[in-house]
Amino acid sequence: MFNTIIENFHIEKILSTLKNNIVYMIITGVVIALVSSIAGSYFSYANYRVDVSFYVYSNPDNVTNTGVNLSTSDITQANKLISSYVQVLRSSAFLSQVVDALPLEGYTVKKLQENISAKAVSDTAIFIVYVYDENPNNALTIANTITELAPTAVHDIVKAGGFTVLDAAKLPTSPIDSLHVYQIMLVGFAGGFALAFVFFLLKGMLDTTIKRIYEVEDIFTIPVLGQVPDVSSKKKGEENNNTDIILKDDSRFIVKEAYNDIRSNLLFGNGDEECQIYVVTSADALEGKTVNAYNMARSFAGIGKKVLLIDADMRSSILRTIAPNEHADGLADYLNGQLTAAPVISIDSNMDIVYSSENIKDRAELLSTQKWYDFIAQMQEKYDEIIIDMPCLGVYSDALNMVKTSAKYVIIIREGKTKFVRTKMIVRRIEELKGEIVGIIYNGISIKSKDYVFRNYKEEVKG
């Protein structure tokens, strides 16, 4: 799985995932936010704080004498009393008095101990008492009650020094700490959106279906011979048909150009052999190998090459639906010895076809016989190009028989259909046997795709 994610990782794929699933991500975020708002009503809070500061005197007589001048030693001695005073103010004995004096319900000594703290101000005779509560008025009431009771209660216990209020308690106008429902909703939305994004991203990274041509170029070092556009006239609810993509004299310009590119790239890569043999295969069914094999043959014939198309798919041949033939005899009849001569059917002056047999099915072992190899050798002497349509290599191994010849493999990949892990598998199988892969045909590319070379053809014509 990790290797699949690494191979499938591409910034364009991430952006495409975000673009294609943004609505679902937003909906997920909104749903989680709404659920969070319901749960948030139980978890939201606001905490208020009231401060009361006290000034400590080492001499209790100085508490009421505002005209006295305190020395440094007086402040130092007073500072030493602060820790004792703070302990008294947080003691159960003192807080019991506070609970009894409070005009409020529901407060206990334990609760006050949790909600009250105190801190000495460094190098001074000042300490501050903090009172926390979810209700600002209650916090103020508790602070005022402490202010009223503390001087007497502390003096009765400590028996030394004294203190007076420096800054009295004030009603707080805003919470010191809070968590509102809208904050919970925002976190819920962000979390839901992020979870949905991760889900769709992983789904996209684990989806090995090839949807863009850059995926082929990134994963394989095999050249792309050409792009065949999806020009089918299939409508919703109808079966797909190959009528529009079959190469004819009146085919659309973009179809003709697609196979002109493929033919040119194949001719450019030709070796010294006078007759080239091309084995057309794919990883799985419905990826367009038969149509492409037929169109390749038509394209070569169109420039005066003498071409033989062999339908060697003895398992699920569809060539007769593309180029009808009333004769049931075919390749298997010849290889099986029921025909003395190969059933070569002339389509036009430059193109012949050997069809798969309608009489004999599932006899793929005939493709590993010496008679098959002898037949190929004989045909090489008569034709400029031989194109062989063979079963899907991801399912059947028939096409591997051709590694014993000078044949070159052409692999068909269909946009939105082919999975790159399947194509990698058949490439590995061919290369392990030292077979030569001449290129990949990228089939079924959308004419609206930004990758399609003739995407702006119509606009260019109008301009």
Same domain, residue pair 13 and 60: no
Same domain, residue pair 308 and 333: yes
Q: How do residues 312-371 score in pLDDT, each as one tens digit?
A: 999 889 999 999 998 899 999 999 999 999 999 999 999 999 999 999 888 889 999 999
Same domain, residue pair 258 and 193: no
Residue keyed to tokens 């995932």:
17
Q: Is residue 463 part of a domain?
A: no
**Binning pLDDT at 50, 70 and 90, where does residue 233 land?**
low
- Supply the mean pLDDT for the chain: 87
pTM: 0.69
- Convert 3-34 into a string of H (helix), E (strand) and C (coil): HHHHHHCCHHHHHHHHHHHHHHHHHHHHHHHH
Q: Is residue 462 part of a domain?
A: no
Please, which residues have CB within 8 angstroms of residue 269's CB and are 6 or more apart in sequence?
A: 438, 439
Is residue 209's pLDDT more than 60? yes
pLDDT given at position 404: 92
Same domain, residue pair 103 and 29: no
pLDDT given at position 68: 52
Q: Is residue 459 part of a domain?
A: no
Same domain, residue pair 333 and 436: yes
**Binning pLDDT at 50, 70 and 90, where does residue 70 land?**
low
Same domain, residue pair 387 and 419: yes
**What average pLDDT does this structure show over 383-397?**
95
Q: Is residue 91 part of a domain?
A: yes
Rounded CA-CA distance 217/224 in Å is 8
Same domain, residue pair 12 and 158: no
pLDDT given at position 414: 96
Q: How many CA atoms lie within 13 A of 13 on its CB side?
A: 24
Domain that holds residue 141: 45-178
Rounded CA-CA distance 174/178 in Å is 9
pLDDT given at position 65: 53
Instruction: Give me the percent of the chain exceeding a pLDDT of 90.
Output: 58
Q: Is residue 300 part of a domain?
A: yes
